[in-house]
Amino acid sequence: MVNKENEKDKFLAPENEVHTVIGPEGEEITVDPLKDYFCEAFPKVHEPKNKIVENFINWARAESLWVLGFGTGCGSIEIPPLLSPRYDAFRFGVAMRATPRQSSVIIISGYLSVKTLKRAIRSYEQMQNPKFVVALGSCTINGGMYWDSYNTINRLDHYMPVDVYVAGCMPRPEALLAGFDSLKKRIRAGRAEGANEYASNFKWYKANQKKIIKDWNMPDYNW
């Protein structure tokens, strides 16, 4: 007979286990990192405000895209030239940020291994709403040249919502700029609702994620 509790926690990292610490007054404090450091509430759908206000807010969002500096695969090599003087993404309101809390866009750049998928999900869930996903390269659409690989995923949209695909292997910086332009149009039109889609279908996305990530050792929602 298998102990379900032990099976559930077999991948739990030591630092995330329940433990006791000594407080400043010498008192013992029980710490449960998964409950104390993370919010257990699932994501919620954020309904748009009235049309005039929402149109103005969407215009502002479209003109200020802060991209998380997180390279997942070979497509990451196309991102540095995007910020060079030749392409100058800053002209289009596209800037790189260092942490998920500061970012509104995450680029899944090329192939995505199962190990990296786990980190990408965690980063995506820590981003503030509204947030957008740009899928770069053929690997995010159908797996590309790694379509039958044991440790890469085939379809990104089964694990997180995708707002814009940029096809190619690999797309040039011009194609990525065109992708950002398409994302801006979707945001201004109020159609870039990936974050709300993720919240609406959270259980479906989470079931797909856990199906492929065997060593799940983090909260279901990493807020």
Domains of the chain: 51-212 (3.40.50.12280)
How far from 170 is each of 31, 174, 188, 199, CA to CA, in Å?
Answer: 46, 11, 27, 31
Q: By C-alpha distance, which of 169, 213, 205, 206 is closest to 73?
A: 169
126 in Cβ contact with 102 (< 8 Å): no
Strands 105-109 and 132-136: parallel
User: What amino acid occupies position 160?
Assistant: M
| Closest by Cα among 157, 155, 159 to 111 | 155
Residue bearing tokens 């981003």: 127
Which is more confident, 70 or 133? 133
In this structure, of 167-171, 182-186, 210-214, the range with the lowest mean pLDDT score is: 167-171
Asked if 137 and 169 touch (Cβ cutoff 8 Å), the reply is: yes
DSSP 171: P
Q: Which residues is 30 bridged to in the sheet?
A: 20
Read off the pLDDT band of 1 (50, 70, 90). very low
28-42, 43-57, 95-109, 120-134: which has the minimum mean pLDDT?
Answer: 28-42
Please tell me the pTM assigned to this model. Answer: 0.83
